[in-house]
């Protein structure tokens, strides 16, 4: 096996960025690979940050030793991912790379291009994306599903982040995949400083949801359930819209008669760290997930978590979190009420969360296993 690799990566929007889980994963992987002496090129999309142009960062040619190249992108909904992935596939096919590592099912549509030019192709499936609500009908869903099929046909190795997705590939295509879940870092716990100033929040005074404001995250049920919970605690919904503001506006309409519900918009940096550090509980009511990175992060801050019973969440938390029935507003309301009424139980969950999650999901292990696949 080769000691060092020249790697091309695409499928993320851009790095450095916290626009979604994929961007965080790509940066964590690449940073560590570069530290170990590998050469890594990331092909970034052009265009604006998903939550608005004010979050754009200047595009440099390098970040933490990772080389960056912005590829031509048609900046229209649905076409940005397709066009940028096509050009990234061309660049990686013609460049001097040993391995081309593609993230997500849509970008994997083009995995045959680097394969045609003799590259070793690895695809990471971050979730069954064609099932997502925004792609439910039409071209998007068909394109992504074909990307999944192309990965099965052309990729040398497929990485999956959950056992459920591993079973899906085996049952649907008879294809073996490699299970390498995401990792998490142990963070520094911060006091409520900026969040006190900006939103009037203090330690344990709020329930936190953090993620993109999209239907499959179950936020609609969360708002409906929370409105029926008798508590002084606030519900903080932290995250930006994805593609359009329509769903975010619907949520705000649903929440408008309850002044305990706070929408912070997209958060990053100290604000994000403080929100994680001081929450009473963290909740992820998703109907659909790949490998929920925000859940790993929340537990690494020592949070008691309340999650839906989809396998992608329950595999992560095991018996170290509270669980409710997916899409069931009444069950979610009961579990939220129970958590608000039982601080001792919440404290018990908090005490074990960080050690459990940081031991179970370690980025150095993820990188080691990924590099082994690169070597074949």
d(CA 205, CA 132): 33
Please check whether residue 82 is in contact with residue 143, taking contact to mean a CB–CB distance below 8 angstroms: yes
Q: How confident is the model at residue 17 (pLDDT cuts 50, 70, 90)?
A: confident
Q: Which residues are bridge partners to 323 per DSSP?
A: 307
Class of the CATH-defined domain 6-183+362-375:
alpha beta
Please check whether residue 240 is in contact with residue 52, taking contact to mean a CB–CB distance below 8 angstroms: yes
Residue 301 CA, distance from chain mean position = 17
d(CA 101, CA 157): 10
pLDDT of 136: 62
pLDDT of 21: 77
pLDDT of 75: 82
- What's the order of all strands across the beta sheet hosting 234-238? 261-265, 234-238, 206-210, 281-284, 304-308, 322-324
H runs (alpha helix) in the chain: 21-35, 79-94, 112-116, 139-154, 163-173, 194-199, 219-226, 246-255, 269-278, 293-300, 311-317, 329-341, 343-360, 363-375
d(CA 40, CA 98): 10
Owner of token pair 């079973």: 167
Q: Assess whether pLDDT exceeds 60 at residue 209.
A: yes
Q: Where in the chain is the domain with CATH 3.40.50.2000?
A: 6-183+362-375, 194-360
CB atoms within 10 A of CB 354: 18
d(CA 170, CA 88): 29
**Range of weakest confidence among 124-138, 283-297, 308-322:** 124-138
Indicate the average pLDDT of the chain: 91
Rounded (5°) CA angle 76-82-87: 110
Q: Assess whether pLDDT exceeds 70 at residue 73.
A: yes
d(CA 198, CA 360): 34
39-57: average pLDDT: 73
Please check whether residue 237 is in contact with residue 213, taking contact to mean a CB–CB distance below 8 angstroms: yes
CB atoms within 10 A of CB 332: 25
φ/ψ of residue 281, rounded to 5? -140, 160
pLDDT of 49: 56
pLDDT of 131: 61
340-368: average pLDDT: 96
Percent share of the chain, pLDDT over 90: 78
Q: How confident is the model at residue 140 (pLDDT cuts 50, 70, 90)?
A: confident
Q: Is omega for the bond preceding 61 within 30 degrees of 0, making it cis? A: no
239-264: average pLDDT: 90
Buried b (16+ CB within 10 A) or exposed e, 312-322: bbeebbeebbb
Phi-psi region of 21 (alpha: psi -120 to 50; beta: other; left: phi over 0): alpha
Q: How confident is the model at residue 135 (pLDDT cuts 50, 70, 90)?
A: low
For the segment(s) 194-360, the CATH number from 3.40.50.1700, 3.40.50.2000, 3.30.590.10, 3.90.650.10 is: 3.40.50.2000
pLDDT of 147: 95
């Amino acid at each position: 096996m080769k000691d060092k690799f020249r790697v091309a990566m695409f499928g993320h929007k851009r790095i450095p960025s916290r626009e979604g889980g994929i961007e965080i994963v790509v940066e964590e992987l690449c940073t560590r690979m570069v530290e170990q002496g590998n050469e890594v090129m990331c092909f970034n999309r052009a265009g604006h940050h998903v939550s608005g142009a004010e979050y754009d960062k200047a595009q440099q040619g390098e970040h933490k030793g990772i080389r960056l190249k912005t590829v031509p992108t048609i900046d229209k909904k649905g076409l940005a991912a397709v066009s940028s992935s096509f050009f990234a596939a061309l660049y990686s096919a013609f460049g001097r790379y040993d391995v081309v590592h593609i993230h997500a099912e849509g970008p994997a549509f083009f995995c045959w291009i680097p394969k045609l030019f003799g590259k070793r192709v690895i695809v990471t499936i971050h979730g069954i994306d064609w099932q997502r609500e925004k792609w439910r009908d039409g071209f998007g869903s068909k394109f992504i599903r074909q990307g999944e099929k192309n990965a099965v046909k052309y990729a040398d190795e497929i990485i999956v982040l959950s056992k459920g997705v591993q079973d899906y590939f085996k049952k649907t295509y008879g294809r073996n995949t490699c299970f390498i879940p995401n990792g998490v870092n142990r963070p520094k716990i911060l006091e409520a400083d900026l969040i006190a100033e900006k939103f009037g929040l203090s330690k344990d005074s709020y329930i936190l949801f953090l993620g993109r404001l999209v239907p499959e995250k179950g936020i609609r049920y969360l708002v409906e359930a929370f409105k029926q919970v008798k508590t002084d605690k606030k519900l903080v919904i932290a995250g930006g819209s994805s593609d359009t503001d329509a769903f975010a506006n619907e949520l705000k309409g649903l929440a408008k008669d309850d002044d305990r519900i706070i929408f912070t918009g997209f958060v990053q940096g100290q604000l994000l760290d403080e929100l994680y550090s001081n929450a009473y509980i963290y909740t992820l009511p998703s109907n659909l997930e790949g490998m929920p990175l925000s859940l790993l992060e929340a537990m690494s801050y020592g949070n008691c978590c309340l999650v839906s019973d989809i396998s992608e969440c329950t595999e992560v938390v095991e018996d170290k979190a509270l669980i409710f029935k997916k899409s069931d507003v009444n069950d979610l309301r009961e579990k939220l009420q129970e958590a608000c009424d039982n601080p001792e139980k919440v404290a018990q969950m908090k005490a074990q969360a960080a050690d459990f999650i940081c031991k179970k999901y370690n980025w150095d292990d993820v990188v080691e296993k990924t590099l082994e696949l690169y070597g074949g």
